[in-house]
Structure 1
Amino acid sequence: MEKYHVLEMIGEGSFGRVYKGRRKYSAQVVALKFIPKMGRSEKELRNLQREIEIMRGLRHPNIVHMLDSFETDKEVVVVTDYAEGELFQILEDDGKLPEDQVQAIAAQLVSALYYLHSHRILHRDMKPQNILLAKGGGIKLCDFGFARAMSTNTMVLTSIKGTPLYMSPELVEERPYDHTADLWSVGCILYELAVGTPPFYATSIFQLVSLILKDPVRWPSTISPCFKNFLQGLLTKDPRQRLSWPDLLHHPFIAGRVTIITEPAGPDLGTPFTSRLPPELQVLKDEQAHRLAPKGNQSRILTQAYKRMAEEAKQKKHQNTGPALEQEDKTSKVAPGTAPLPRLGATPQESSLVAGILASEMKSSWVESETGEAPPAPRENWTTPDCGQAFPEERPEVLGQRGTDAVDLENEEPDSDNEWQHLLETTEPVPVQLKAPLTLLCNPDFCQRIQSQLHEAGGQILKGILEGASHILPAFRVLSSLLSSCSDSVALYSFCREAGLPGLPLSLLRHSQESNSLQQQSWYGTFLRDLMAVIQAYFACTFNLERSQTGDSLQVFQEAANLFLDLLGKLLAQPDDSEQTLRRDSLMCFTVLCEAMDGNSRAIS
């Protein structure tokens, strides 16, 4: 530290601390990154050294410049340019940016990536937090901890790096990837700058993966056609069709704005990513990608998520087992202004999933007479061995003036969309909102609203009415988020029982699989994907993963599992599932179900 004065701390993270500093005997202000050696493995130290070596050779106005690096007994110190702030902070404060400002940032990000890719370097962690703000409105790309310089013989990579919100489809599927994964991330960042949220956003990693792989991007009317076309190119799910070099440089949105840095010829690093591969190298790349493609179907990202959920459930088992379930009024805190949780003891109507939920709750709303009169209430102990018998098949209506063949759900305005979006944000598991999901779970009005939305919109969907789909999708997404974000087993189980879960979604799934007309609707795929996400989130709930299930909850889970397994064969054998999206969702749901069964000490047949 002989060369620098250390001033105030400006940042802190798992890597260490960052301080504002000044070079001695000058007015040069710098950033000093102190990275402790203690507790780091040999591999981590090697990766740190690799990051330093990559940064040492980078010279570009839109990439943070490493001025110096050295070691002390306890730390590695990296000295870089000092930046005024982070792009992420602008998003936090301002929400979004005007398009002309986004355009300027886009040109600078593309400039930085062109420089990296021309040197065969992948950043692999592009996100707003890694983009710094320089004086005069410029931006600088930083944090090369995940960066990788690829040798001449390496055409694709397989190791998973990055932040899930900005990961490309090939990354979340753990397929071999190349520099186009960075370009996808740039598309996500620019979309977020312009719209205020990432193009694919969910609080559940399971739902996020599904969105990235299958969901179309929603395009607001406020962005220009040129900008939309640019983002569409970057956010193309197939990396082979994604907008890339050299065509990217000539897109009208950034043409003439990109800074190209020319450097003296150095050692031959191989064909830069910014040039098209010759045919013989393209063949070699395709062969390498095929050889490195994963052999199994299970994603390591989701596997780790399952493990974390199971571990969290085990950590809480002492809080929600034994006497806790019998005396939850003493152990479960109820948020002010909400009704206390009902006891979990089974009643005659609730002892069976089929009787209590599928029959008495669903029949009353989904089988409406043409005169508008409600059907008679089901008898208390009415049961049926097959939930399909409880509901005659609904024939999709022929909508005269408003056909749905060419309807895109992204252009439909759901009822009370802002309110449902607020509920979705409320269930996000961030530190300032740890009590919010529990507050909703304990609110009888919210429970009733969810149940009503599922009833009414479900009935419309079975008739093939578009409005039903646009109304039920926000409820599905709130449910998926809520079931994934709250770990209070008592409150979760009580909420599911009162709201008709899992009976309502499972019955809706069965009816949708039995209706060929419904499956022809243009919005059916979006509806089915979100429905499967709710069922999957239910099976992954903490009260299903714990060994302390009561007889009532175990019976509900067992019957729900049986209903899903009865449908599994039909789901896997869908003839129109050309992209195998339904097959993938079904197998993912089956995997979560198996995880829950494995985590329970009782035999489930």
Structure 2
Amino acid sequence: MEKYMIISPIGEGSFAKVYRGREKYTGRDVALKFISKLGKTEKDLYFLRREIDILRKMKHENIVDMINSFETNNEIVVVTERGLADLYQLLEDDVNLPEDTVQKIACQLVSALYYLHSHRVLHRDMKPQNILIFPGGKVKLCDFGFARNMTMETMVLTSIKGTPLYMCPELVDEKPYDHSADLWALGCILYEVYHGKPPFFTNNVFHLIKMIGKESVKWPKPISPDMRNFLEGLLTKDSTQRLTWPDLLHHPFVRTGVKVPHLTESIIGPLTQPPTEEQRILKQQQIKAKGVSRGPSKLLSKFMPDEHRKDTQKSPGNKDKNQKKSKIPIIQNTEIEPPPSSTLPPPVELKTNQSTLVADSLTMQEDKFVSTRENLNTSILTNRTIDEQQIEQHAEQIESMSNEQLMNLLRQESFYKLFETIQTTILSKLLECTLNGASFYRNMMKILRFILQSDMDPHLIISFTNKIHVPDLSLKHLKAILDHPTIRKEPWFAHILYDILIVIRLWFELITAYTLQQLNEEQCKFYLTMSHEFLEQTSLILNLASSLDYTICCETLMILIILCESYEDVSPLLCQAWYDPIRLDKCQIWPAIAQLITTSFKSENSNIEIYNETLMYTVATMAALTYPSQCLPDALLEAKIKVILFKKYSV
């Protein structure tokens, strides 16, 4: 801090304090953001430093420059250049801008996004508050708190980031998205700068989601053909038809003003170039694997309580403009969900240059729009618990963690306590049949999946799963959702079911591979109990899976195969208990398997690969259940009952 002098506070958010400062030896105006380390884990700090590193590497005339960053014992300090104001403040004063000014802003933002996307960086929080105004009419993109540097293997993302007013249709519909989400947001911003409000605006979140997904863009005032065509291209609801790179650069509205940086050979796979055939195939695979078809009207259903739908109309003669502007640093973090502790919104100055930015007082309608927009953004945070925030943050970070980082995570007592806390409420939240509850649950299962399939010491993983009761709770949740008629009607039910099955399979695999023969009598009984509990649900899962997804069939059959193999190498007593023909008959295994072959697959002519894969697992399951184990006594060795039952229900 010896290099900087603090002049005055700019704003304070949930995660940081921002001050106007001056560099002592140069006199340069700067903004200093102080982010507290208190209450943050090493993982949180790692994630924060990674985001700082993204901003540090971004060197472009239309991206805010990070001058410095350093750490004290209690804080991380980020020093950036300071603008005169942000675009939100400019709109607040001038309401809207002429087309030639919008065109200049568009060219600069297109240049900034081209630079980011060429480096495989998605901004994910494009909005007027995150665009700073500098002398000479220059604008710069800031706030990289939600930025994501996509690896070469990552073609789409699924986590919801951003502000609802600027979200693309695929985002509000909870579908996988790519860099074109930034381009949709750009279209929303430019539309708002010209017309005075976003293309889709209402003070009701549910209505907003429907508008984004269904309604067409309206054009309330005259606009040139080039600008309209440009905005229509960006605001195309179908992401595959949206105006994107490289065609975006050559559009008549911006082609003369866009500055395209030279890409060095070190940049591999820029998002600004057309994807290769291999990349297109990989993208479709990821969309299919990650995609969830969800009703847009359910999104954010818990984040807009009635008390937030207030009449915000004020008298223009009595409004306090400075008071309104003091909210701006705070609403930079008003996303669909609270940001991770590593959010890095570059600061903005509260006081604008009065000689150039201040216009006449807003009309009552315009003032109501500004206030309602703030209300809409801030209300999204309602009902988000700290546990939900932490689980989502862990779920996003865990994808990029090394084994060493995962091991450190499993050694943290706070991580165990978090899981112990959420396990008391997460099932009830899921059974409320809200999208928020489903998202919360899927984030938890994602964390468990990554831990179970990691290359860490298996004994450490087993110890972790035992402490938080992974197998018994997963099977309890499995039974609960299968017995719940309402949740089975939800469009995301199949994905929840699949998540649970994967975790159950990974746990059985882990125990079978490393410790089954070393278990004591009590532990063997527990393993057998877990096996029987799964077996009891198998026929219902297979019957449901025929109308849901064949991957659920495969996952269920795979678990049965793993269990059968595991009981081949244990005591005869355990083996007999598993292969008990009376229990198998009671669980209706054979009718369910026969139905897969005789009913569902015969109608699946459109995808022979799915048919063959599931048929392979079906045959393997039949073999595993009927193969005469050497551990079985003579009375059960022939497994005649199983064969007879199967023949009865086969074709």
Question: What is the aligned partner in structure 1 of residue 291 from structure 2?
Answer: 293
Residues 1:94 and 2:90 aligned together: no
Residues 1:190 and 2:190 aligned together: yes
C-alpha contact (below 8 Å) 2:210/2:297 kept by paired residues: no
Question: What is the aligned partner in structure 1 of residue 171 from structure 2?
Answer: 171
Distance 1:244 1:155 in 2: 15
Residues 1:202 and 2:198 aligned together: no
Question: What is the aligned partner in structure 2 of residue 273 from structure 1?
Answer: 271
Question: What is the aligned partner in structure 1 of residue 488 from structure 2?
Answer: none
Code of the aligned partner of 2:31: A
Question: What is the aligned partner in structure 2 of residue 26 from structure 1?
Answer: 26
Residues 1:53 and 2:53 aligned together: yes
Distance 1:16 1:97 in 2: 32
CA deviation after TM superposition for structure 1 residue 162, in Å? 0.3
Code of the aligned partner of 1:278: T
Residues 1:65 and 2:61 aligned together: no
Distance 2:369 2:93 in 1: 17
Distance 2:128 2:29 in 1: 23
Question: What is the aligned partner in structure 1 of residue 116 from structure 2?
Answer: 116
CA deviation after TM superposition for structure 1 residue 263, in Å? 4.9
Distance 2:299 2:31 in 1: 34
Question: What is the aligned partner in structure 1 of residue 211 from structure 2?
Answer: 211
Residues 1:152 and 2:152 aligned together: yes
| Alignment match of 1:309 (pick from 300, 305, 308) | 305
TM-score by length of 2: 0.47
Distance 2:265 2:373 in 1: 51
CA deviation after TM superposition for structure 1 residue 12, in Å? 2.5
**Alpha-carbon spacing, 1:216–1:300, altered in 2? closer, same or farther (3 Å):** closer
Distance 1:177 1:264 in 2: 27
Distance 2:214 2:221 in 1: 22
CA deviation after TM superposition for structure 1 residue 19, in Å? 1.4
Matches within 5 A, 1:211-290: 211-266=211-266, 268-269=267-268, 271-290=269-288
C-alpha contact (below 8 Å) 1:118/1:273 kept by paired residues: yes
Question: What is the aligned partner in structure 1 of residue 437 from structure 2?
Answer: none
SS in structure 2 opposite 1:240? helix
Distance 2:203 2:34 in 1: 32
Code of the aligned partner of 1:309: P
C-alpha contact (below 8 Å) 2:96/2:196 kept by paired residues: yes
Percent identical residues: 54
Distance 2:247 2:370 in 1: 42
Distance 1:193 1:41 in 2: 40
CA deviation after TM superposition for structure 1 residue 309, in Å? 3.2
CA deviation after TM superposition for structure 1 residue 302, in Å? 2.3
Q: Which protein is richer in helix relative to its size?
A: 2
**Alpha-carbon spacing, 1:3–1:95, altered in 2? closer, same or farther (3 Å):** same
User: Could you list the runs of 5+ residues in structure 1 that have no partner in the other structure?
Assistant: 314-418, 435-480, 485-539, 541-605
SS in structure 2 opposite 1:117? helix
CA deviation after TM superposition for structure 1 residue 299, in Å? 7.4
**Alpha-carbon spacing, 1:149–1:422, altered in 2? closer, same or farther (3 Å):** closer
Q: Which stretch shows the higher mean deviation, 146-155 or 32-41?
A: 32-41
Matches within 5 A, 1:445-594: none
Distance 2:154 2:370 in 1: 45
Distance 1:180 1:431 in 2: 27
CA deviation after TM superposition for structure 1 residue 265, in Å? 2.8
CA deviation after TM superposition for structure 1 residue 44, in Å? 4.2
Deviations 1:376-425 (A, max 9, x none): xxxxxxxxxxxxxxxxxxxxxxxxxxxxxxxxxxxxxxxxxxx9978985
**Alpha-carbon spacing, 1:41–1:295, altered in 2? closer, same or farther (3 Å):** farther
C-alpha contact (below 8 Å) 2:174/2:293 kept by paired residues: no
Which has the bigger relative contact order, CA under 8 A and spacing at least 6?
2
C-alpha contact (below 8 Å) 1:130/1:142 kept by paired residues: yes
CA deviation after TM superposition for structure 1 residue 25, in Å? 1.8
Deviations 1:155-208 (A, max 9, x none): 000010000000000000010000000000000000000000000001111111
CA deviation after TM superposition for structure 1 residue 136, in Å? 1.2
C-alpha contact (below 8 Å) 2:209/2:299 kept by paired residues: no
CA deviation after TM superposition for structure 1 residue 282, in Å? 0.8
CA deviation after TM superposition for structure 1 residue 428, in Å? 4.0
Q: Which stretch shows the higher mean deviation, 231-240 or 30-39?
A: 30-39
CA deviation after TM superposition for structure 1 residue 225, in Å? 1.2
Code of the aligned partner of 2:160: I
Deviations 1:485-543 (A, max 9, x none): xxxxxxxxxxxxxxxxxxxxxxxxxxxxxxxxxxxxxxxxxxxxxxxxxxxxxxx9xxx
**Alpha-carbon spacing, 1:130–1:43, altered in 2? closer, same or farther (3 Å):** farther
**Alpha-carbon spacing, 1:42–1:303, altered in 2? closer, same or farther (3 Å):** farther
**Alpha-carbon spacing, 1:9–1:79, altered in 2? closer, same or farther (3 Å):** same
C-alpha contact (below 8 Å) 1:60/1:112 kept by paired residues: yes
**Alpha-carbon spacing, 1:206–1:103, altered in 2? closer, same or farther (3 Å):** same
CA deviation after TM superposition for structure 1 residue 228, in Å? 0.5
C-alpha contact (below 8 Å) 2:6/2:20 kept by paired residues: yes
Distance 2:367 2:249 in 1: 41
SS in structure 2 opposite 1:109? helix
Code of the aligned partner of 1:284: L
SS in structure 1 opposite 2:89? helix
CA deviation after TM superposition for structure 1 residue 431, in Å? 7.2
User: What is the aligned residue count?
Assistant: 327
CA deviation after TM superposition for structure 1 residue 290, in Å? 1.1
Distance 1:31 1:298 in 2: 39
SS in structure 2 opposite 1:302? coil
Question: What is the aligned partner in structure 2 of residue 131 from structure 1?
Answer: 131
SS in structure 2 opposite 1:7? strand
Code of the aligned partner of 1:282: R
**Alpha-carbon spacing, 1:153–1:85, altered in 2? closer, same or farther (3 Å):** same
Residues 1:103 and 2:99 aligned together: no
SS in structure 1 opposite 2:302? helix
C-alpha contact (below 8 Å) 1:47/1:145 kept by paired residues: no
Deviations 1:72-103 (A, max 9, x none): 12211001112111111110001000100000
CA deviation after TM superposition for structure 1 residue 46, in Å? 3.5
Deviations 1:558-604 (A, max 9, x none): xxxxxxxxxxxxxxxxxxxxxxxxxxxxxxxxxxxxxxxxxxxxxxx
CA deviation after TM superposition for structure 1 residue 278, in Å? 1.5
Code of the aligned partner of 1:127: K
Matches within 5 A, 1:387-402: none
**Alpha-carbon spacing, 1:42–1:165, altered in 2? closer, same or farther (3 Å):** farther
C-alpha contact (below 8 Å) 1:16/1:35 kept by paired residues: yes
SS in structure 1 opposite 2:187? helix
Deviations 1:105-133 (A, max 9, x none): 00000000000000000000000000001
Distance 1:146 1:262 in 2: 26
C-alpha contact (below 8 Å) 1:174/1:299 kept by paired residues: no
Question: What is the aligned partner in structure 2 of residue 552 from structure 1?
Answer: none
Distance 1:129 1:201 in 2: 17
C-alpha contact (below 8 Å) 2:22/2:29 kept by paired residues: yes
Question: What is the aligned partner in structure 2 of residue 6 from structure 1?
Answer: 6
Distance 2:36 2:109 in 1: 30
Deviations 1:16-41 (A, max 9, x none): 22212122222222111111222445
**Alpha-carbon spacing, 1:43–1:205, altered in 2? closer, same or farther (3 Å):** farther
C-alpha contact (below 8 Å) 1:233/1:243 kept by paired residues: yes
Code of the aligned partner of 2:279: L
Distance 1:257 1:429 in 2: 31
Code of the aligned partner of 2:246: P
CA deviation after TM superposition for structure 1 residue 295, in Å? 5.6
C-alpha contact (below 8 Å) 2:92/2:370 kept by paired residues: no
Code of the aligned partner of 2:148: R
SS in structure 1 opposite 2:305? helix
SS in structure 1 opposite 2:177? coil
